[in-house]
């Protein structure tokens, strides 16, 4: 699968811009703030229906304008697929595949498998558990349509249960029957999510370890461990055990919405004890593992976006990653960097077709 053409209207700093891409490697170069990452984000948008960087949809519209349009022409399994993602202020976002709008944006997820590696991935190590849940959820939902639907249903009931807990406090009342209706539903959806997360990690963790070894040339004792209360107890039991706490907090303190992934080096968290380089290798391994996992599930090469490649990697590691493109293993690659020369020097070494886009000139 690859992206042949991209056109942007009023997307972030671009008023109107058209690109025609190489099937293999495309590099965006230019000075800081010129829009390199924005182009990668537009491509991400076509795959996931949202920005990787700015979750507030309207902030992706160019300042002073009231809509954006991103259009991509893909070739997938020898078929042309035109995807258009557009947003007008005050209206819902629309994604169209071959001129037909999706009823639900979530139905589009997984159609264009894609992995992004960016400096902001460090949030996965430094930030709270929600970033890591989003990561797992994102990977699983690219290959499992039902997963995202179940998760959305779980979240909807969860917020109803939280409202009920608030209502109990506000009205100094308690109604066990109504609460248990929500508990039952959450137990159903939550257990399904939990089982899928367990099954996913069983496959994913070995791939991750292998990638870490390849990148760091090292078999340091790294681990990635699923952390969930559901590993030891059923969700219904957990709700019962935590009812006093939940009533005091006025929200649901246990469930799959509290799951986490622990990243360790030996016995210690990589966040506190890993060196910068170890953390970078860890993140790249995580993303390359995502790439291989999605590839196996989708049976096609995902598009790979490498934002600011030299931020995370020294030249050896960049060469290593770029050389992977030489294999049949990788599909289309988009790279951004401030220095045209150093990028082109690395790309040239692998004798693949490539195209350089010098932004701002």
Ligand X SMILES: Nc1ncnc2c1ncn2[C@@H]1O[C@H](COP(=O)(O)OP(=O)(O)OP(=O)(O)O)[C@@H](O)[C@H]1O
Residues that bind ligand X (CB under 6 A): 12-13, 30, 32-38, 59-63, 308, 336, 338
Does 343 sit near Mg ion (CB under 5 A)? no
Contact call for residues 287 and 121 (beta carbons, < 8 A): yes
* Residue 356 contact partner, candidates ligand X, Mg ion, none, CB within 5 to 8 A by sort of partner: none
* 35 interacts with, out of Mg ion, ligand X, none, CB within 5 to 8 A per kind: ligand X
The CB-of-342 to Mg ion minimum distance in angstroms stands at: 15
Of ligand X, Mg ion, none, which one does residue 13 interact with (CB within 5 to 8 Å by kind)? ligand X
Q: CB 15 → ligand X: shortest distance, Å?
A: 9
User: How far, in Å, are 85, 182, 284, 313 from residue 119 at the CA level?
Assistant: 25, 40, 10, 10
CA distance 305 to 288: 11
Binding range to Mg ion, per CB under 5 A, among 29-37, 56-64, 132-140, 188-196: 29-37
Q: Which does 22 bind (CB under 5 to 8 A by kind): Mg ion, ligand X, none?
A: none
Q: At its nearest, how many Å lie between ligand X and the CB of residue 248?
A: 42
Nearest distance in Å: CB 33, Mg ion: 8
Contact residues for 65 (Cβ-Cβ < 8 A; gap 6+):
10
Q: Are strands 14-20 and 2-11 parallel, antiparallel or unpaired?
A: antiparallel
Nearer to ligand X, 22 or 41 (CB): 41
CB of 337 to ligand X, least distance (A): 8
Interface region with Mg ion, contact rule CB under 5 A, candidates 34-42, 270-278, 294-302, 350-358: 34-42
Rounded to the nearest angstrom, the gap between the alpha carbon of residue 240 and the centroid of all alpha carbons in its chain is: 34
Of the pair 86, 118, the CB lying nearest Mg ion is at 118
Nearer to ligand X, 64 or 128 (CB): 64
CA geometry: angle at 235 spanning 231 and 241, to 5°? 105
Is 51 a residue that touches Mg ion (CB under 5 A)? no
Let me know if 260 is exposed, middle or buried by CB neighbors in 10 A (0-12, 13-18, 19+): middle
Q: Is residue 37 involved in binding Mg ion (CB under 5 A)?
A: yes
Query: By C-beta, is 93 or 292 nearer to ligand X?
Result: 93
- Only one of the segments 30-38, 46-54, 70-78, 179-187 lies at the binding site for Mg ion (rule: CB under 5 A); that segment is 30-38
Q: Which stretch binds Mg ion (CB under 5 A): 32-40, 54-62, 88-96, 168-176?
A: 32-40
Residue 52: CB minimum distance to ligand X, A: 11
Nearer to ligand X, 30 or 72 (CB): 30
CA 164 to chain centre: 32
* 3-state SS class at 354: strand
For the chain, first and last CA: distance in Å? Answer: 30
Does position 216 interact with Mg ion (CB under 5 A)? The reply is no
Distances in Å between the Cα of 94 and the Cα atoms of 51, 53, 97, 262 are 14, 19, 10, 36
Cβ 30 to ligand X shortest distance, Å = 6
Nearest residue (CB) to ligand X, 60 versus 142: 60
86 binds Mg ion (CB under 5 A): no
Cα separation, 332 vs 74, in Å, equals 11
Could you count the other beta carbons within 10 Å of the beta carbon of residue 112? 24
DSSP helix/strand/coil, 321: helix
Nearer Cβ to Mg ion (264/338)? 338
Q: Is 355 helix (H, G, I), strand (E, B) or coil?
A: strand
**Helix, strand, coil fractions of the chain, as percent rounded to 5:** 50, 20, 25
From the list ligand X, Mg ion, none, partner contacted by residue 118 (C-beta under 5 to 8 A by kind): none
Q: How far is the CB of 337 from Mg ion (least distance, A)?
A: 9
CB 143 within 8 A of CB 294: yes
- Contact positions toward Mg ion, by CB under 5 A? 37
């Amino acid at each position: 699968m690859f992206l042949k053409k991209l056109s942007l209207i009023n997307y972030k700093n671009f008023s109107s811009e058209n690109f025609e891409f190489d099937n293999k490697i495309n590099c965006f170069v230019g000075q800081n703030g010129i829009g390199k990452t924005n182009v990668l984000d537009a491509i991400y948008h076509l795959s996931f229906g949202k920005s990787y960087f700015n979750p507030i949809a309207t902030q992706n519209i160019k300042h002073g304008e009231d809509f954006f349009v991103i259009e991509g022409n893909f070739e997938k399994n020898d078929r042309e697929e035109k995807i258009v993602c557009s947003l007008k202020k005050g209206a819902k976002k629309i994604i169209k595949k071959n001129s037909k709008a999706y009823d639900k944006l979530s139905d589009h997820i997984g159609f264009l498998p894609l992995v992004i590696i960016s400096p902001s991935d460090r949030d996965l190590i430094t930030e709270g558990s929600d970033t890591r849940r989003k990561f797992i959820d994102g990977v699983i939902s690219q290959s499992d349509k039902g997963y995202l639907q179940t998760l959305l249903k779980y979240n909807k009931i969860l917020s109803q249960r939280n409202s009920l807990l608030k209502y109990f406090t506000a009205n100094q009342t308690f109604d066990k029957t109504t609460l248990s209706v929500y508990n039952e539903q959450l137990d159903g959806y939550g257990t399904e999510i939990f089982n899928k997360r367990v099954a996913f990690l069983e496959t994913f963790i070995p791939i991750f370890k292998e990638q870490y070894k390849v990148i760091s040339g090292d078999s340091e004792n790294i681990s990635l461990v699923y952390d969930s209360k559901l590993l030891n107890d059923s969700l219904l039991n957990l709700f019962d055990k935590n009812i006093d706490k939940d009533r005091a907090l006025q929200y649901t303190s246990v469930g799959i919405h509290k799951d986490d992934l622990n990243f360790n080096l030996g016995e210690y968290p990589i966040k506190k004890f890993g060196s910068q380089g170890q953390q970078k290798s860890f993140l790249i391994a995580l993303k390359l593992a995502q790439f291989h996992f999605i590839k196996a599930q989708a049976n096609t090469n995902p598009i790979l976006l490498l934002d600011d490649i030299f931020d995370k990697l020294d030249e050896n590691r960049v060469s290593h990653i770029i050389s992977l493109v030489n294999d049949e293993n990788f599909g289309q690659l988009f790279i951004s960097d401030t220095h045209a020369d150093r990028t082109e020097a690395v790309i040239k070494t692998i004798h693949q077709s490539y195209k350089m886009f010098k932004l701002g000139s």
